[in-house]
């Protein structure tokens, strides 16, 4: 009968304390007796060794607390229980570990961000270095091309000066030889009597036996007198050509032309085709004396030049067609040098060629010369069909 009562009491305690505050404790005594009720008068139903963890269901029984040990419920003296710090320490350690893990993740994210920023900075620095190297290379190639062009121009000037010196020497030799011949002939000739006409000249008296020649008036005809004198700025295309240049604005190339003090020029640029009939006129540019002009944005291809030298550009219109020409010191030539404006692709980018050219007339006996053997006629210069 007593055991049934104990079971009923424990069952009542279990249900009545189901919502009591719980916690985990350790026993301080050597041995903890678990009784069936909250008092020494109740039977001992289990013994808990010292240091064993028990679950406290309620401490509202005076000096006693209701606990759960393994799978049984019972009562123990409350003062023999003490708080178990191992769980709190474990939870604190877990919280610290979680905080450290989050801090490690944040540090890793920051390190990754710094590495990405460093990578971008390195890539930008490399890009700038490559671009700077390409710029220096283009400048070096342009300077080399200028040096070659200047050397070729100097060679042409030197050759022209040498030819002029030879021509002057030959002219002087011939003049001396002619003078010697005249001197030799003069020593053997005798003065001849004046030749008289048997027929009196008009307007003379019958007593005059020697006729007198009438004064001869010589005038020089200016075939360009009715032509209109035109003045153009350097870089313009004379209207007489009725031509619009062709450009490729994606290409930053140029032909730099420096004109000396003795002439003005008109430069015609022809793009070479498979045959001469396929050649295309691409630019016509007027350049004044003592001027440096850049012809830019030249389409890819191989080119040659026709050049007109002279002074006083005049134009006229005949039968609805315009004509233009230099009217003083006019000379014409076709350049033999091929200007290759094809771009070259390299591992470091695209190489865009450009060229330098110096033009002037050289004083010669009785006029000027281009200093070249490439002279052509005016009609050949104006013939766009070559």
What 3-state class would DSSP assign to 253?
coil
Domain count, the chain: 2
The 10s digit of each residue's pLDDT in 120-154 is 999 999 999 999 999 999 999 999 998 999 888 88
The residues, ordered by sequence, that sit 6+ positions from 18 with a Cβ below 8 Å of its Cβ are 57
Give residue 95's pLDDT band: very low, low, confident or very high (50, 70, 90): confident
172 in any annotated domain: no
Q: What is the pLDDT of residue 75?
A: 94
Show which of 83, 111, 144 is a domain's final residue.
83
* Residue 37 binned pLDDT confidence (cut-offs 50, 70, 90): very high
pLDDT at 282: 93
Residue 275 domain-assigned (yes or no) = yes
37 or 318, higher pLDDT? 37
pLDDT band at 267 (very low <50, low <70, confident <90, very high): very high
CA-based nearest residue to 365, from 170, 231, 220, 195? 170
158 falls within a domain: no
Q: Please compute the mean of the pLDDT values over residues 228-246 and round it to a whole number.
A: 92
234 SS3 class: coil
Say which range, 92-101, 183-192, 278-287, has the weakest mean pLDDT.
183-192
Above 80 in pLDDT, residue 87? no
DSSP string, 64-85: EEEEEETTEEEEEEGGGEEE-H
Question: What is the rounded CA–CA span in Å between residue 64 and residue 37?
Answer: 9
| pLDDT above 90: residue 332 | yes
Q: CATH no. for residue 49?
A: 2.30.30.40
Range with top average pLDDT, 71-75, 281-285, 320-324: 281-285
169-220 pLDDT, tens digit per residue, is 777 777 677 767 766 655 443 333 343 334 444 444 445 455 555 556 656 6
Q: Which of 22, 50, 83 is the last residue of a domain?
A: 83
Domain end point (choices 67, 83, 99): 83
Name the average pLDDT for the chain: 81
Where are the alpha helices (H) located in 220-301, listed in sequence order? Answer: none
3-class secondary structure for 329-377?
Answer: EEEEEECCCCEECCCEEECCEEECCCEEEEECCEEECCEEECCCCCECC
For residue 67, count other CB atoms closer than 10 A to its CB.
25
Reduced to 3 states, what is the DSSP secondary structure of residue 199? coil
Confidence of residue 23 (pLDDT cuts 50, 70, 90): low
- 6 within some domain: yes
The predicted model scores a pTM of 0.45
Non-local CB neighbours of 356 within 8 Å, separated by 6+ positions? 145, 146, 149, 150, 255, 256, 257, 258
Q: Which domain holds residue 64?
A: 2-83
The Cα–Cα gap between 353 and 220 comes to 49
For residues 10 and 89, the model is more confident at: 89
């Amino acid at each position: 009968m007593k055991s049934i009562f104990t079971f009923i009491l424990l069952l009542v305690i279990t249900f009545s304390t189901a919502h009591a505050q719980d916690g985990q404790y350790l026993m301080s005594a050597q041995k903890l007796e678990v009784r069936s009720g909250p008092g020494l008068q109740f039977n001992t139903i289990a013994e808990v060794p010292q240091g064993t963890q028990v679950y406290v269901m309620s401490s509202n029984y005076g000096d006693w607390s209701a606990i759960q040990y393994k799978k049984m419920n019972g009562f123990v003296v409350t003062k023999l229980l003490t708080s178990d710090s191992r769980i709190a320490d474990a939870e604190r350690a877990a919280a610290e570990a979680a905080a450290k893990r989050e801090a490690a993740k944040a540090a890793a994210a920051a390190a990754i961000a710094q590495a990405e920023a460093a990578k971008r900075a390195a890539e930008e620095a490399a890009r700038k270095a490559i671009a700077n190297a390409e710029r220096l290379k283009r400048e070096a190639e342009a300077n080399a091309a200028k040096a070659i062009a200047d050397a070729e121009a100097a060679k042409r000037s030197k050759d022209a000066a040498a030819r002029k010196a030879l021509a002057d020497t030959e002219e002087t030799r011939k003049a001396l030889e002619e003078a010697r011949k005249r001197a030799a002939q003069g020593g053997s000739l005798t003065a001849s009597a004046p030749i008289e006409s048997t027929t009196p000249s008009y307007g003379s008296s019958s007593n005059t036996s020697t006729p007198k020649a009438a004064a001869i008036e010589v005038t020089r005809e200016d075939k360009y007198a009715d032509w209109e004198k035109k003045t153009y700025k350097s870089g313009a295309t004379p209207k007489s050509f009725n031509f619009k240049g062709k450009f490729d604005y994606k290409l930053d190339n140029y032909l730099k032309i420096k004109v000396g003090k003795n002439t003005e020029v008109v430069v015609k640029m022809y793009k070479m085709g498979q045959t001469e009939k396929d050649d295309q006129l691409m630019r016509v540019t007027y350049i004044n004396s003592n001027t440096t002009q850049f012809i830019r944005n030249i389409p890819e291809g191989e080119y040659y030049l026709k050049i007109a030298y002279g002074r006083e550009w005049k134009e006229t219109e005949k039968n609805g067609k315009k004509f233009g020409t230099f009217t003083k010191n006019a000379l014409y030539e076709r350049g033999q040098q091929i200007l290759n404006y094809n771009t070259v692709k390299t591992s470091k980018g695209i190489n865009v060629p450009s060229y330098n050219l110096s033009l002037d007339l050289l004083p010669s006996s009785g006029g000027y010369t281009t200093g070249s053997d490439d002279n052509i006629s005016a009609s050949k210069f104006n013939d766009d069909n070559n």
